[in-house]
Amino acid sequence: MSLYEYEDHPNEECGIVGIYAPNEEVARMAFFGLFALQHRGQEAAGIAVSDGRTARVHKDMGLVTQIFNQETLAQLQGHYAIGHTRYSTTGSSALRNAQPFLLETRHGPLAVAHNGNLVNTAELRLQLLRRGVGLSSSSDSEVITMMLAGAEGETWPDRIQNTMGAWRGAFSLTILTRDGVYAVRDPWGFRPLSVGRLPSGGHAAASETGALRTLGCESIREVGPGEIVTLNNGSPNVRQALPPMPELARCVFEHVYFSRPDSFWDGRLVHQVRQRLGEELAREGAVDADVIIPVPDSSMPAAIGYSRVSGIPYNEGFTKNRYIARTFIQPTDSLRKQGIALKFNALEDNLRDKRVVMIDDSIVRGNTAGPLVKLLKDAGAKEVHVRITCPPIAHPCYMGVDMGTYDELIAHRMSVDEICDHINCDSLHFLSLEGMMRAVGRSGGYCQACFTGNYPIDISELQAKTSFETSMA
């Protein structure tokens, strides 16, 4: 059993950065950009750099701080860089699927970092193979890279634009060439991507605005759906390569769980949205209780909001080992039996003889909510009422988030009452879809497929996450 099995949250695919910074240590800047995005993917990471003549890449399995040091960064000299930190959605967790992908083309070096997931990868992969193009990984991101390598057009923006229309699904990209970096976003706007101006006069792109502020960026703006933004000499050049879809499909889980609370998504500060999620939850799922307890860390703003509306005091009930899920050393059999206690301990003095409202952001597979409830009750809580800041997740995501299959999703198999019995809590309430969108402050423009099953694009050609692994064994 992996330590990741103790986490009952959706898993994001990755974080990406792209930087143009003349006369700066661009690889070091990319490192700190990825470090600020480490929460988005912890399987692998890489940085590719170009000095205007040649391109180099360094990537490996593990965390950003495990892969890069002074020596490896010193070998990555240049003015342009892209970086990637990965959680797999298409393709297994293996070094051959680590990004960025770097190859030589007739137009010079090309490297690609991808956040998202294409639903027509099988069709595109077959087209490449029939043309005699060799593939070394099982990732849809390599398919994107190979298609760009063979694309027609006078310039790289032309080639990117000529290829984007064939990709169906979620793609936010940073692309490195010999003398430029490009930030690209799909016309649905599924995955986040923003650009900003560096203090040195260069520019950077990243999955989250918090990472751009870590690099000191100002004048931050989203890359619009369907846009290509060129980062090189002068001001960023923006090209509307594809028209935005009439109905955008931003991922609502960026607000619920994925993004850092200091990031902006769709012009809204994530921390404030999470507080409003808690406020809406308090209105919908009111209960007599003595204390509000969040499951750290993403639920803490929501617990503050719930406390503000309900009048019930907020306090901490869990201490969290924030590093346990980031180690590749597996526990012994005896430690494995400790389960959730490897990651959380209860603060008994805050819980004893209390009626507790436990706030969490989601229940996906249902493998940690029960142990957390037990932990609170074992610490002396008289009652535990669970409140979740989103609706039940009853459908898988195919747009770049690993939420599991239908068989794995507890809300697909069980009713709310059955889940309540399963996790042994005194009551359970999920925030309604309407309440969630009130907190976000939008009536549309967001993908809600994991709650409703209404996907914004056709998923009939979809392949399983590791469906291309058999031929690569």
Per domain, the residue ranges of the chain are 3-249, 270-442
Q: Examine the residue annotation and report whether 217 is marked as an active-site residue of this protein.
A: no
Report phi then psi at 104, rounded to 5: -95, 135
CA dist 343 and 323 (Å) reads 8
Mean pLDDT of 262-282: 97
Mean pLDDT of 288-308: 96
Q: What percent of the chain has pLDDT over 90?
A: 79
- Which of left, alpha, beta for 229 (phi over 0: left; psi -120 to 50: alpha)? beta
**Alpha carbon of 206 to those of 282, 283, 353, 457, 464: distances in Å?**
34, 36, 46, 25, 28
CATH topology of domain 270-442: Rossmann fold (3.40.50)
> Considering 14, 251, 425, 447, which one is annotated as catalytic?
14
Question: Could you read off the pLDDT of 358-403 as tens digits, one per residue?
Answer: 999 999 999 899 999 999 999 999 999 999 999 999 999 999 887 8
239 or 460: which leads in pLDDT: 239
Question: Could you read off the pLDDT of 322-349 as tens digits, one per residue?
Answer: 766 555 555 666 666 667 777 899 999 9
What is the residue-averaged pLDDT of the chain? Answer: 91
CA dist 174 and 196 (Å) reads 14
Question: What local confidence, expressed as pLDDT, does residue 205 receive?
Answer: 98
**Alpha carbon of 140 to those of 86, 117, 371, 390, 471: distances in Å?**
13, 7, 36, 29, 15
CA distance from start to end of the chain: 22
C-alpha dihedral, 327 to 330 to 336 to 338, nearest 10° = -30
Instruction: Say whether pLDDT at 466 is over 60.
Output: no
Counting every residue, how long is the chain?
473
Reading the block at residue 161, the tokens are 């634009």
Domain formed by 3-249, architecture: 4-Layer Sandwich (3.60)
Question: What local confidence, expressed as pLDDT, does residue 280 receive?
Answer: 98
CB of 435 within 8 A of CB of 281?
yes
Question: What local confidence, expressed as pLDDT, does residue 334 receive?
Answer: 65
